[in-house]
Amino acid sequence: MSTTPAETPPGGLVVAIDGPSGSGKSSTSRGVASRLGLRYLDTGAMFRGMTWWMLREGVDVHDAAAVAARAGEPEILSGTDPRGPGIAVDGVDVSVAIRTDEVTSAVSPVSVVPEVRARLLELQRAVIGAGGIVVEGRDIGSVVAPYAQVKVYLTADPGARAERRAAEEGGSDLDATRASLLSRDRIDSGRATAPLVMADGAVHVDTTPYTLDEVVDQVVSLVEAVGERA
């Protein structure tokens, strides 16, 4: 996987927010971007978009070679408005479609394929461009944008994460949701390419005891502190 585009930092601010599913990345990232007037990129939605396309095309998502062979085909366009980012694949708005159970259950095997990660890394860096953006994912501070001026690693108690995700999904079974999150953690942390890790220089924030506004306040304070030192 090439890292050349990341060797030259963009001129504007880049905030990298990483962490496992259910830790509050999306809500926090969008809140910070809105508060600071920055763009926003949900890299997880890009992996879901790729997965949606593979399923639509009838590709066996458990066949890594088959997924790799077609990873370069779909056109994925990510919106960057934190109030409603949206995502389109081959001109189709898939903002809702990528959140279905079918895509959720298939995204892990697709996301571990190196060719998929390389393709989306290229797209992610293109969106980051000259900066002025909050980027959320699992390898932003470590791989996608290691030059980010602010790196945050969000976590939460597994129980709290399961409650949040179950609420987002309209009251899903709590035990099943918790098991699914922990399974995804093992996959993300154990994959050979760009595993889920806390990046060097990242600030760890355990969101369990805080409200969303309190977490956003903490991250905004980190950004403001960087601005004061600049």
Instruction: Report whether 29 contacts 220 (CB < 8 A).
Output: no
Note whether 14-38+132-230 and 43-131 share their fold: yes
Structure tokens at 21: 């599913």
Structure tokens at 52: 């949606």
pLDDT in tens, the chain (230 residues): 434 445 556 779 999 999 988 888 999 999 999 999 999 999 999 999 999 999 999 999 999 999 999 999 999 999 999 999 999 999 999 999 999 989 999 999 999 999 999 999 999 999 999 999 999 999 999 999 999 999 999 998 887 777 777 776 666 677 777 777 777 767 677 666 667 778 899 999 999 999 999 999 999 999 999 876 65
Strand partners, 41: 135
Tell me what pLDDT residue 165 has.
72
Is the pTM value of this prediction over 0.75? yes
Tell me what pLDDT residue 230 has.
56
Residue 30's H or E segment, with its range, is: helix 25-36
Tell me what pLDDT residue 3 has.
41
Listed by start position, the domains of the chain span 14-38+132-230, 43-131
43-131 domain in CATH 3.40.50.300? yes
How far apart CA 165 and CA 178 sit, in angstroms, is 9
Tell me what pLDDT residue 185 has.
67
- Domain 14-38+132-230: CATH superfamily is P-loop containing nucleotide triphosphate hydrolases (3.40.50.300)
Structure tokens at 193: 């390419």
Tell me what pLDDT residue 170 has.
67
